[in-house]
Amino acid sequence: MLTFKNVSLKIGKSNVLSELDFSVKPGEIVAVLGASGAGKSSLFSLLIGEKKPSSGEILLDEISLGDLSFTSVQQYRRQIGIIFQDFRLLPQKTVFENIAFALEICGKANQVRNRVPELLKLVGLENKQDRFPRELSGGERQRVSIARSLAHNPKMLIADEATGNLDPKNSREISELLLYLNQKTNLTLLFATHDPVMVQKLNPRVIRLEAGRIRFDKQTCALSEAFADLL
Q: Quick: pLDDT tens for 49-75.
A: 888 899 999 998 878 888 888 778 877
3-state secondary structure of 83: strand
3-state secondary structure of 200: helix
φ/ψ bin of 74: left (φ > 0), alpha (ψ from -120 to 50), beta (otherwise) = alpha
| Domains of the chain by start residue, with CATH | 1-79+154-231 (3.40.50.300), 89-153 (no CATH)
pLDDT bracket for residue 190 (50, 70, 90): very high
pLDDT at 49: 84
Residues whose CB falls within 8 Å of the CB of residue 74, separated by 6 or more in sequence, listed in order: none
Give mean pLDDT, residues 73-89. Answer: 85
Greatest CA separation found in the chain? 52
pLDDT bracket for residue 78 (50, 70, 90): confident
Beta-carbon count within 10 A of 11 CB: 11
Is the pLDDT assigned to residue 109 strictly greater than 90?
A: yes
Is the pLDDT assigned to residue 178 strictly greater than 80?
A: yes
pLDDT bracket for residue 5 (50, 70, 90): very high
pLDDT bracket for residue 98 (50, 70, 90): very high
Residue 216: strand pairing partners: 208
Q: Quick: pLDDT tens for 133-153.
A: 999 999 999 999 999 999 999
pLDDT at 126: 93
CB 16 within 8 A of CB 10: yes
pTM of this structure: 0.91
Residue 195: strand pairing partners: none
Beta-carbon count within 10 A of 54 CB: 15
Is the pLDDT assigned to residue 128 strictly greater than 80?
A: yes
Counting every residue, how long is the chain?
231
